Amino acid sequence: MTERQLINLVEQYFAGVDAMDFRAIARTLADDCVFTVETHGVRLTGLDEIEPMFRRLWENHTAVCHEYFTHVPAPETGRIAVRFSVINTHHDGSTTHKSNCNFFETRNGRFSTVAVYMAGDNTLSAG
């Protein structure tokens, strides 16, 4: 994949997260994707394990927003690192702001691994 293709795939992934649309997210993930939240000891394998995590995130918030991206693509290895800001809006209207980094690896045009490094509380709990 080219640098632009890697960045586009990341943007497609986060657009799905912010739209609360797992089908859009799933189009960016390999069926056997390994998704980890490294800072909180979470490891999920495959779409059937990953989807409930996102459903819980969306049930616990009225909105999620990812913005201010810094992309560090490495097309020669099919990897991309991304630093970004997160705003989670809670049901009472309060917000939580975070600074996170994700590391993605690709296989056949989709993410085969997603490793999340998250500031603060884990909003991507495994259950």
Q: What is the pLDDT of residue 123?
A: 67
Parallel/antiparallel/unpaired status of strands 29-37 and 42-45: antiparallel
Residue 110, Cα to own-chain centre: how many angstroms? 13
Q: Does domain 3-117 have CATH number 3.10.450.50?
A: yes
Question: From CA 120, how far away is CA 98, in angstroms rounded?
Answer: 7
Angle among Cα 29, 34, 37 to the nearest 5 degrees reads 110
pLDDT at 124: 66
Ranges assigned E (strand) in the chain: 29-37, 42-45, 63-74, 79-89, 95-107, 110-117
Rounded-to-10 torsion of CA 7, 11, 17, 22: -80
Q: What is the pLDDT of residue 40?
A: 87
What pLDDT is attached to residue 83?
98
Model pTM?
0.93
Per-residue pLDDT of the chain (127 residues; tens, 9 = 90+): 999 999 999 999 999 999 999 999 999 999 999 999 999 889 999 999 999 999 999 999 999 999 999 999 999 999 999 999 999 999 999 999 999 999 999 999 999 999 999 876 666 665 5
pLDDT for the residue 125 = 64
